[in-house]
Amino acid sequence: MTGTIIKTVDLRKTYMQGKIPVEALRGVNLEVGEGEFLSVLGPSGSGKSTLLNLIGALDKPTGGRLFIENIDVSALNENQLADLRMRIGFVFQFFNLIPRFTARENVELPMSIAGLSKGERRKRAEELLQMVGLASRMNHKPTELSGGEQQRVAIARALANNPRFLLMDEPTGNIDSKNAYEIIRLVKRLNEDKGVTIIMVTHDQRLAEEAKRIVYMLDGTIVMEKVR
Partner 1 sequence: MRIIDMFSYAFSAIRLRKLRAGLTTLGVVIGIAAIVALLSITQGLQVAISSQLQRGFATDTLIVTAGGGLGGVNEFNLLVKDAQTIKEIGNVTASIAVIQRICYIRMPYGQTRRVTVTGVDFAAYKEIYSSTFVAEEGEIPLNPEDDFIIVGKQVSDPWSNGTILCRTGDALEILWTNTTTRPLRNETYLGRVVAVLREIGGFTIGGPSDNRIYIPISKAQSFFGTETCEMIIVKLRNDDRATIDSAAKAIREALGGRVAVTSSTAVLNIISSVFSTIELFLAGIAAISLLVAGIGIMNIMIVSVMERTREIGILKALGMKNRQVLLIFLCEAAIIGLLGTLIGIGAGWSLAQIVLRIFGSSGGAGIMRQGNQAAVSNGITITPVLTPTVILGAIVFGLMVTMVFALYPAWKASKLKPVEALRYE
Q: How far is the CB of 69 from partner 1 (least distance, A)?
A: 16
Q: Give 108 or 210: the residue with its C-beta nearer to partner 1.
A: 108
Q: Measured in Å, how far apart are the chain's first and last C-alpha atoms?
A: 14
Q: How far is the CB of 31 from partner 1 (least distance, A)?
A: 23
Binding site for partner 1 (CB under 8 A): 53, 56, 58-59, 78-79, 82-87, 90, 92, 96, 98, 100-101, 109-110, 112-115, 117-118, 157, 161
Tell me the three state secondary structure of residue 58.
Answer: coil
Q: How far is the CB of 122 from partner 1 (least distance, A)?
A: 12
* Long-range CB contact pairs, 13-17, < 8 A, 24+: 13/47, 13/50, 13/54, 13/59, 13/61, 13/62, 13/63, 14/62, 14/63, 15/62
Q: Give 90 or 216: the residue with its C-beta nearer to partner 1.
A: 90
Q: What is the C-alpha separation between 192 and 118, in angstroms, rounded?
A: 31
Q: Give 70 or 79: the residue with its C-beta nearer to partner 1.
A: 79
Q: Give 104 or 213: the residue with its C-beta nearer to partner 1.
A: 104
Name the E strands within 69-109: 71-72, 88-91
Q: How far is the CB of 84 from partner 1 (least distance, A)?
A: 8
Report the 10 Å Cβ neighbour count for 33.
Answer: 15
Q: Do 202 and 41 form a contact (C-beta atoms < 8 A)?
A: yes
Q: How far is the CB of 18 from partner 1 (least distance, A)?
A: 15
Q: Give 24 or 214: the residue with its C-beta nearer to partner 1.
A: 24
Q: Give 49 or 216: the residue with its C-beta nearer to partner 1.
A: 49
Q: How far is the CB of 132 from partner 1 (least distance, A)?
A: 17
